[in-house]
Chain A
Amino acid sequence: MTTCRRLIPVALAVFAGCSAITLERVDFGWPVESVLTVSPANTIEDVRYAVRANVAPVAGEEFQDSSALKGAKLRLIRSAEGYYFLTGPRFRHVFVFAPGPSSLVLHTAILVAEGGLKSPALNQRPPYVELIDGDSFRRLLTSDDIAEVKR
């Protein structure tokens, strides 16, 4: 009985150690955005980072038409934190997704242009993701909102 009492803290320490390993300050950031064409099946695929996703729900949310993005060129970048930022021409939002098991879960849809973007581009500017659209439109984004507006 005494022996069992002695072993309990040791076992707890071992199990606690196994479950609590965390790798910190991981940089998930892509150096450059990917420009991906939406296929007829409403999918996008990034060969370098091995990401493939169906973007029909994004089209439904942004344009109320699940097939509206077919043939469009979308811009996708992963931030240093690990969130995926997705946008494209005529988009009013930048969609921020968190990776889940076999899924990308919408974290935030950041409203960036009421009239829709014209020719957007995403840049990696840690700790932000930069959104530009032409010479005079520039926003620094976090995974939740617009952090800074620059011109």
Chain B
Amino acid sequence: MRRILLLPALALLVPFAARAQHSDYALKNDFEERVRALAARLDSASTTGAIDSVRDDIAKLESDFAPHSEFLDRALYPLTFSESVGRLRALQVLTYDRVYLIRTQGLKLSELEARIGALTSRLDSLTAQRDQLFGELQESRKSLASLREAVRRLTANLAAKDRLIFAIVDSIFLPYGKDLHQVADVQKEAIAQRLQNANVVTRVYEIAADNVKFLDVTQLQGKDYAGLIDQYQAFAARWTGLKEKMTDVAATSAVVAGGTPSQARTRAGAGGAARTNAATDGAAAQSAHVDSVLADWHRRLMAGFWGGLQKEFTQAGITVQEFHDGPSFAASVRACVASLAASKQDPQPFVENLWKQKIDRDWRDGLTKDGMLGRTEYAALDRAVSELSKETIDATFIAYIAGVLVIIAAVWFFIFRKKKPAAQAPPAPAA
């Protein structure tokens, strides 16, 4: 503390001493010393008040040495007097921004820490609820209504957990903006610490694993899948974003722990590099773990969806080529439509009972998702199936119209025959 107070006092006294002995060298040194001292004060400043005080001292430095500016322009080569003062001023502005940001972030962070804590405890209570719901699901197999209710509640529980974990992630990254490359290493280290404290990767893994288990033990209906596909796609996208950020943070965190990359290399040689690699590898291994369970989730979801859809065809007595994804499904339906059109078989069971009553009602939402069949392809298939139905409708309609016309003609004929004798009645005899 005493040292901090002495530095500005010395800095004020030094130029007068320099002027007393009239040494140019001492004058140059005094100027450089004062610039260094002010830069050091800026470096260690932690309040905006301290930085404001340095700003005043920069102005004092400039006015003290302004009479010697011509000499200093030459003596400070390659800098000039005004450049040296300008650099100090720029440093002061930068430091002010940094300190202001850190202080305001500190307030935000404490609020967010509380929010993360609340979200984490909610997530834990949802996990307990999930276990109970899985138990209920096992018991509810006897009654279809209670089974549906258990599935609905469990789906809602998993979706809530999914939202919560990414709300936690958002809360951790929110104060640092979108571009993580512009975040200082120390702040990245803080992010890494928070991710670790909130146990984020383990929780992400658990949620993905819960979804796998859910798909494993639940008999789902066509209309259940649209929400599940949405949930998977959103989760996968969020995870991809989180993974990139985590890799960045893990690399920085390892570097901060072992010093800067150059320090780590100089100090520990291969050891420092090994420590950095180990931390990065650890993060990569955790990510790979989540990736594998996410792949399992996707595989089971797709198998359930396309398997369930294929089952609808089988139950309706329609034989189609086996399909396992959007393109193969579209090919199968087109082949079926072509076959029905060529064979002159009655397309009603396919068009009405299967396509309209089942697929269009229960599976359309799932099929129209991107990455499944897509809206355009579904609309094209629907049109192809409708064309098949149109031919039938047209024939019936024509037969119906023909029948009606025959009836009208018959009625007209009878009316005409009845009226004709009345028209040809003989005239009354003349008296």
Contacts and interface: CB of A to CB of B under 8 A. Distances in A.
A124 to B, nearest CB: 7
B77 interface: yes
B21 interface: yes
Interface stretch (A14-22, A31-39, A82-90): A31-39
B24 A123 contact: yes
Interface string A89-117: 00000000000000000000000000000
Interface residues of B, number: 12
B289 interface: no
B77 A135 contact: no
Contacts of A122: 25
A128 B12 CA distance: 31
Contacts of B71: 31-32
Contact of A121 (B25, B74, B75, B77): B25
A130 to B, nearest CB: 8
A32 B21 contact: no
B417 interface: no
A138 B28 CA distance: 19
Contact of A33 (B21, B25, B77): B25
Contacts of B28: 32
Most B CB within 10 A of own CB, among A31, A48, A122, A132: A31
B25 A32 contact: yes
B74 A35 contact: no
A134 interface: yes
A121 B26 contact: yes
Contact of B74 (A31, A75, A135): A31
Nearest to B78: A48
B20 A121 contact: no
Most B CB within 10 A of own CB, among A32, A48, A135: A32
Interface in B1-55: 20-26, 28
Given A31-B74, A31-B75, A32-B75, A135 B25 contact: no
Given A31-B74, A75-B25, A130-B22, 13 more contacts: A31-B77, A32-B24, A32-B28, A32-B71, A33-B24, A33-B25, A35-B25, A121-B21, A122-B25, A124-B24, A132-B21, A132-B23, A134-B21
Interface of A: 31-33, 35, 48, 75, 121-124, 130, 132, 134-135, 138
The 6 A-B residue pairs with the shortest CB-CB distance in the complex, in nearest-first order: A31-B74, A121-B23, A32-B75, A123-B24, A31-B75, A32-B24
